[in-house]
Structure 1
């Protein structure tokens, strides 16, 4: 959750209520804010089905859609208000520090990644350890704050719907969060764990095949994972793959964030601060437009002095004095470039009818620091329609069916709570109950 790397960006907009350990707990108590889960854990829901008849579900969140924790043991910090040490693990995503002047610098310094152009891998800054809590559970993808503040609600809408219809948290509906700062090429351990999670979930649910649900960047992670499994393994363990808002061919939005940053519609958030952290994330470069969907001479950024497109993307990065961005792009552009079919029954769900950036226009002297004008095209507000429609290319190219369905007016993040989308996902899963 916009992550711009898609979900990431949308989540910032909601995070006036996001948690900072201790402080927001007190705010929450003061305001009387409770757990925003409604009645999903109760037994007085509507139609329910037998637990044993369900296809278990594993959900892969989008960019910014997993909680992150850090343990600090730093020997130096950028200012004297920045903590050098923490007493164990503490939440850094999502965290209120990003909204507090002064502390936002500490937050950026702890979350940015350091690139090694020899190993072509990223790592945390010295003295910073990070982890993604709750692998296999749904808590850390339902809400982005540890204390489940309503403003950080993300995939809880989907999980609640499933629980209301007979699923059980952390048994038949599981979460597969990941460090969204890194692209698939740095996630070897994650994919090993994901394969084991699929097998364990299959066994724990009466040997019923697993359905993978991905949102946004989670769609690309799901595709990459399935492309690296044997067909025999997929035939045994996977029922279907449901992709929501998949940026199959990338999106234009990330190029503006790399260039200018974004204040994410929060007045006190500095665009340049956000840019400083997002630029270090290879997952941002992994979401840049693909030349399978955009012509190499198609204008992505216009300035009076120069036009940038996929044909001169290297110049774009070097003109920004950001050569590492070009290296990120080289490392990630081919991860799912060929769009190899996933080899399982696939449902692609996407929102349409929302103005989505196609070209950014900077006035004289405005590039890269000023906010550009936007020329838009159809999409879900974050991912361009042409990219969302990418899985149409799989039809007739794999044994299993590929189904595409659009939801007019459903925004990129909003589709995770759109009633029509949730009803359609339920129909897919119940079809397994009847025919599986």
Structure 2
């Protein structure tokens, strides 16, 4: 079953919910897309000073001359026209950790915002979630009436209760209001539909919402291709196929959870095997600093260990079968900055 087939099943399932409640019309849908589907705008202030590695592509360049908001991610047009801007765009996307606030921030002088929150129109056009949007519209859903989108700042991630996570907390507040508005406009409880990483965010959102609120506002939770509990493929930090910058707090959220993967070996070398319980040691072996590893242990691990079905929320998970999925990475000589010597699929 490929991604398109999975999304078709989601549409059929959501449609069946609507048929069951035909008298009330289509159940409103709030869609959370995949990891990099959400688009970001940026605005620079006089405080921005690029790091030395990015200075040649940023200094005096066209980006520094921009006034007001411009598209930062996913800006294929600018990068195709001038590939030399890639290091500068990477610098603008980079996150830094503020030890005083205990939270992640943009690089000083960079302001960012999510494009078109509340709508799916801001989703990246080549993301599979757009196929889901098109299919929902084909069966009668309309933007702003009973179809809503919740794009998010994918570089950030939730922190455990009691720790600062300003951007993610802001997202949860906006999502709460969006769900309530969707319900009020349609006289019925919305269905939360997610694709890939959107499922992680929706899961945390539901787990942290009051039980009475969930019972009142959530009809159903549908996850497509969520990879719940993390993915082995994301342990390829040094390869060209690695996901976006390790400075992104969100990247660590999708590392394999010990609660799901247990002690099974995920990375194999001649000297040592690494399981999900060994990820702190594996991060060190990949060159992450002691502070970065400590933040993984303190901020990310408690969130991944909290993985469980949110009470009082009916759930449907749609995942692929028969599709080779990385189950183990083999680096015989421990050269983690190269492609694996072998990928074992399950």
Normalization by structure 1: what TM-score?
A: 0.65
Give the deviation of 1:347 after TM superposition: 0.8
Give the deviation of 1:340 after TM superposition: 3.1
> What SS is found at the alignment partner of 1:81?
helix
> What SS is found at the alignment partner of 1:84?
helix
Verify the 8 A CA contact 2:259 2:304 in the aligned structure 1: no
| In 2, Cα distance between equivalents of 1:318 and 1:155 | 35
Does 2:185 align with 1:204? yes
| In 2, Cα distance between equivalents of 1:98 and 1:304 | 41
> In the alignment, what sits opposite 2:7?
none
Verify the 8 A CA contact 2:34 2:195 in the aligned structure 1: yes
> In the alignment, what sits opposite 1:235?
215
Verify the 8 A CA contact 1:241 1:344 in the aligned structure 2: yes
State the Cα deviation string for residues 41-94 of structure 1 (Å, max 9, x = none): xxxxxx9x9895110000011211201111123543333432324221111211
Greater displacement, 71-80 / 183-192: 71-80
From 31, 34, 40, the counterpart of 1:62:
34
State the Cα deviation string for residues 313-351 of structure 1 (Å, max 9, x = none): 222222333124423422112225233322211111111
Verify the 8 A CA contact 1:357 1:374 in the aligned structure 2: no
> In the alignment, what sits opposite 2:93?
111
From 116, 125, 129, the counterpart of 1:134:
116
- 5+ residue gaps, structure 1, are 1-46, 265-270, 379-436
Does 2:273 align with 1:307? yes
> In the alignment, what sits opposite 2:248?
281
State the Cα deviation string for residues 185-223 of structure 1 (Å, max 9, x = none): 331111111111111111111x11100001112112111
> In the alignment, what sits opposite 1:21?
none
| In 2, Cα distance between equivalents of 1:101 and 1:166 | 41
Verify the 8 A CA contact 1:358 1:374 in the aligned structure 2: no
| In 2, Cα distance between equivalents of 1:51 and 1:201 | 17
> In the alignment, what sits opposite 2:6?
none
Verify the 8 A CA contact 1:114 1:124 in the aligned structure 2: yes
> In the alignment, what sits opposite 2:155?
181
Does 2:270 align with 1:318? no
Verify the 8 A CA contact 2:270 2:332 in the aligned structure 1: yes
State the Cα deviation string for residues 383-415 of structure 1 (Å, max 9, x = none): xxxxxxxxxxxxxxxxxxxxxxxxxxxxxxxxx
Verify the 8 A CA contact 2:220 2:315 in the aligned structure 1: yes
> In the alignment, what sits opposite 1:225?
205
From 239, 243, 248, the counterpart of 2:228:
248
How many pairs were matched up? 307
> In the alignment, what sits opposite 1:81?
57
Pairing of 1:155-166 with structure 2 (within 5 A): 155-166=129-140
| In 2, Cα distance between equivalents of 1:345 and 1:87 | 47
> What SS is found at the alignment partner of 2:345?
strand
Normalization by structure 2: what TM-score?
A: 0.81
Give the deviation of 1:241 after TM superposition: 0.7
Does 2:39 align with 1:71? no
> What SS is found at the alignment partner of 1:212?
strand
The alignment's C-alpha RMSD in Å is 2.4
Give the ranges of 4+ consecutive aligned residues of structure 1 lying more than 4 Å apart after TM superposition.
Answer: 49-52, 97-101
> In the alignment, what sits opposite 2:318?
349
